Amino acid sequence: MSLWYKEENRGLQIDLKIIKAFDFWFPKDEAQRVLWTSTIQLTDDYMNSLLGHAVPLDQRALVSLSHNARALDIYAWLTQRLHRIPYNKPQFVAWAAIKEQFGSNYARMNTFKLRFRKDLKLALSQYPKARISEDLNKGFILHNSPPPIEKTAVSMPKRLKY
């Protein structure tokens, strides 16, 4: 992946490999079980990034929101974003940006706003510590908030099986 930082007049090239190896087994006959499990081995850089930056999600919230894809997306967006906002430096997100991310298929902004507000309310019911307020008809102000589940030290295997 290549990035260009216009303000600094510099470029950056990043190698974003996330999988070191994989071993998939598919049955020849759908009625027959596979004898060996499939495995994926993640690169050390990617695994360390997951361990260092992953945000734990509340399983109860995921189950509760599983019937509403947009509410689930909003919940995931807020959980990964709110705790990274600096204290005393709220961030403003305009309706246009929210619509681009969560409702690009809507032709009318007012229809999208109605549905987004409803789904946001549902997502916030599962993330009560989220601090977000609406600047009416302009967008939302996001404030630093604790993640829904506090991070704990996790020891993950280098080889994950699926």
**Closest-CA residue to 160 (of 56, 18, 54, 3):** 18
Give the count of beta carbons closer than 10 Å to the beta carbon of residue 116.
21
**98-129 confidence digits (pLDDT tens):** 999 999 888 999 999 999 999 999 999 999 99
Is the predicted pLDDT of residue 92 greater than 90, yes or no?
Answer: yes
For 31-84, strand residue ranges (E) read 39-42
Its domain, for residue 6, covers 2-54+155-161
Whether residue 115 lies inside any domain: the answer is yes
State the Cα angle at 77 between 75 and 78, rounded to 5°.
65
pLDDT band at 142 (very low <50, low <70, confident <90, very high): very high
Both 63 and 28 in one domain: the answer is no
For residues 124 and 106, membership in a common domain is answered with: yes
Which of the residue ranges 29-33, 46-50, 73-77 has the most confident prediction, judged by mean pLDDT?
73-77
148 found inside a domain: no
* pLDDT > 70? residue 155: no
Q: Is residue 149 part of a domain?
A: no
Average pLDDT over residues 84-97: 94
Same domain, yes or no: 33 and 101: no
The residue that leads in pLDDT, 82 or 40, is 82
The number of folded domains in the chain is 2
**Per-residue pLDDT for 72 more than 90?**
yes
Mean pLDDT of 69-90: 94
| pLDDT band (50, 70, 90) for residue 162 | very low
CATH number, domain of 72, equals 1.10.10
State yes or no: pLDDT of 12 exceeds 70: yes
